[in-house]
């Protein structure tokens, strides 16, 4: 575009929308102010008197006739009245609204100093810690799922049964940082994170995006109660861990890899986040129900 190409070659100029002269805008137009003060009792709906025509014509004669000059003044009369009329000089200035916190809505502080926001981040971190602890106990340690594990997978029907077709393969990678409460959200949610692993160096049959890792029958047999690790959907699932992973990460180290949740609360308010995370908090936080109720009571106040 020309305006972009000439951005460095031409000095920017602006003109008045009232008198069309450069160097000022209509808010600071000396002609508009002078015209209004000289004709502040003028009825804009009536025919203008000759003196008005003459007054305005001198500024527009080089471009338009007298009618154009009056047309300009008529269209800007209300605007000029707001700037220079009696109400403009006598009306008290509007009070600025007191700012409020974008997270909790309090008028006593802003988002940067919000104690509730820091407390909510702490709740998410505790929920994450508990979730990963359960995942470690039930999936990594009890089932032996991890890099190097030899597994069987197949198609699970809606009733939980497995079709005759099954395949065997090696777990070649597992991103431990992808294990998060984000796995508990629907895949269409803005807060969803998928469990990232590969079988034989790839992701066969879309298994990576399956809502639940293990088939429900195998999970029941192994005592897996973590809902996000068990699939109750129709699709490809791990049906058996034939040989567990030869290496198991240290649990203390594993729990120390929890992601920061500052990004979650950055541009969202408390009501929105509670709507998204309440179910997750109730399921996985050590005091889930009590914590969720406490935060909803805070919102109602």
Domain count for the chain:
2
Span of 28-37, 63-72, 163-172 with lowest mean pLDDT:
63-72
> 259 with 127: CB under 8 angstroms?
no
Residues 191 and 224 in one domain: yes
Predicted local confidence at residue 74, as pLDDT: 81
Predicted local confidence at residue 43, as pLDDT: 73
Above 50 in pLDDT, residue 115? yes
Instruction: Please report whether residue 34 resides in a domain.
Output: yes
Instruction: Please report whether residue 8 resides in a domain.
Output: no
Condensed to tens digits (0 to 9), the pLDDT of residues 46-101 reads 655 554 555 555 555 555 455 667 777 788 888 888 888 876 666 666 777 778 89
Residues 30 and 170 in one domain: no
Instruction: Please report whether residue 233 resides in a domain.
Output: yes
Residues 71 and 217 in one domain: no
Residues 40 and 138 in one domain: no
DSSP, res 262: T
Residues 115 and 86 in one domain: no
Above 70 in pLDDT, residue 207? no
What would the mean pLDDT of 111-123 be, rounded to a whole number? Answer: 92
Q: What is the spatial distance between Cα 274 and Cα 20, in angstroms, rounded to a whole number?
A: 54
What would the mean pLDDT of 170-186 be, rounded to a whole number? Answer: 89
Above 80 in pLDDT, residue 137? yes
What would the mean pLDDT of 195-206 be, rounded to a whole number? Answer: 75
Pick the residue with more confidence: 42 or 268? 268
Residues 76 and 150 in one domain: no
Give the angle subtended at the CA of 231 by the CAs of 239 and 134, to the nearest 5°: 95
Above 90 in pLDDT, residue 131? yes
Across 57-199, the runs of DSSP E, i.e. the strands, are 150-156, 162-174, 197-199
Residues 266 and 176 in one domain: yes
Pick the residue with more confidence: 135 or 22? 135
The pLDDT-based confidence of 14 (bands split at 50, 70, 90) is: confident
Predicted local confidence at residue 205, as pLDDT: 57
Q: What is the spatial distance between Cα 247 and Cα 162, in angstroms, rounded to a whole number?
A: 29
Pick the residue with more confidence: 258 or 298? 298
Residues 122 and 218 in one domain: yes
Predicted local confidence at residue 256, as pLDDT: 85
> 155 with 236: CB under 8 angstroms?
yes
Residues 116 and 254 in one domain: yes
Span of 154-163, 192-201, 203-212 with lowest mean pLDDT:
203-212
Condensed to tens digits (0 to 9), the pLDDT of residues 209-246 reads 557 889 889 999 999 999 888 888 888 889 999 999 99
pTM for the predicted model, two decimal places: 0.66
Q: Which residue has the tokens 């399956």?
A: 210
Instruction: Please report whether residue 2 resides in a domain.
Output: no
Across the chain, the runs of DSSP E, i.e. the strands, are 150-156, 162-174, 197-199, 214-215, 230-231, 235-243
Residues 132 and 232 in one domain: yes
Condensed to tens digits (0 to 9), the pLDDT of residues 254-295 reads 998 777 788 888 888 999 999 999 999 999 999 999 999 999
Condensed to tens digits (0 to 9), the pLDDT of residues 138-160 reads 999 999 999 999 999 888 888 88
Instruction: Please report whether residue 3 resides in a domain.
Output: no
- Chosen domain end from 90, 122, 146: 90
Predicted local confidence at residue 121, as pLDDT: 93
Instruction: Please report whether residue 296 resides in a domain.
Output: yes
Instruction: Please report whether residue 95 resides in a domain.
Output: no
Predicted local confidence at residue 285, as pLDDT: 95
Pick the residue with more confidence: 6 or 161? 161
- Chosen domain end from 90, 122, 154: 90
What range defines the domain where residue 253 resides? 111-300
Residues 28 and 82 in one domain: yes
Predicted local confidence at residue 134, as pLDDT: 94
Burial of 141 (0-12, 13-18, 19+ CB in 10 A): middle
Predicted local confidence at residue 2, as pLDDT: 35
Residues 84 and 163 in one domain: no
Instruction: Please report whether residue 105 resides in a domain.
Output: no
């Amino acid at each position: 575009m020309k305006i972009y190409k000439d951005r460095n070659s031409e000095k920017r100029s602006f003109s008045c929308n009232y008198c069309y002269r450069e160097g000022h805008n209509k808010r600071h137009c000396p002609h508009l102010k002078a015209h209004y003060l000289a004709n502040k009792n003028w009825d804009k709906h009536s025919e203008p008197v000759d003196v008005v025509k003459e007054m305005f014509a001198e500024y527009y004669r080089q471009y338009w006739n007298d009618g154009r000059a009056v047309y300009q003044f008529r269209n800007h009369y209300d605007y000029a009245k707001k700037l220079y009329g009696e109400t403009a000089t006598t009306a008290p200035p509007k009070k600025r609204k007191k700012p409020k916190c974008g997270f909790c809505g309090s008028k006593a502080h802003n988002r940067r100093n919000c104690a509730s926001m820091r407390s909510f981040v702490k709740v998410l971190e505790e929920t994450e810690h508990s979730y990963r602890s359960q995942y470690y106990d039930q999936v990594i340690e009890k089932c032996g799922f991890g890099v190097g594990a030899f597994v069987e997978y197949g198609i699970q029907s809606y009733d939980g049964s497995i079709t005759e077709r099954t395949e065997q393969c090696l777990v070649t990678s597992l991103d431990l940082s992808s294990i998060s409460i984000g796995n508990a959200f629907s895949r269409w949610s803005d807060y969803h994170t998928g469990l990232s692993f590969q079988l034989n160096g790839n992701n066969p049959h879309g298994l990576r995006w399956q809502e639940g890792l293990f088939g429900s029958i195998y999970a029941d047999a192994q005592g897996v109660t973590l809902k996000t690790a068990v699939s109750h959907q129709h699709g490809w699932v791990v049906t058996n861990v034939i040989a567990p992973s030869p290496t198991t990460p240290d649990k203390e180290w594993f729990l120390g890899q929890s992601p920061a949740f500052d990004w979650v609360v950055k541009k969202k308010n408390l009501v929105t986040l509670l709507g998204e995370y309440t179910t997750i908090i109730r399921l996985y936080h050590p005091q889930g129900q009590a914590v969720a109720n406490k935060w909803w009571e805070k919102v109602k106040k």
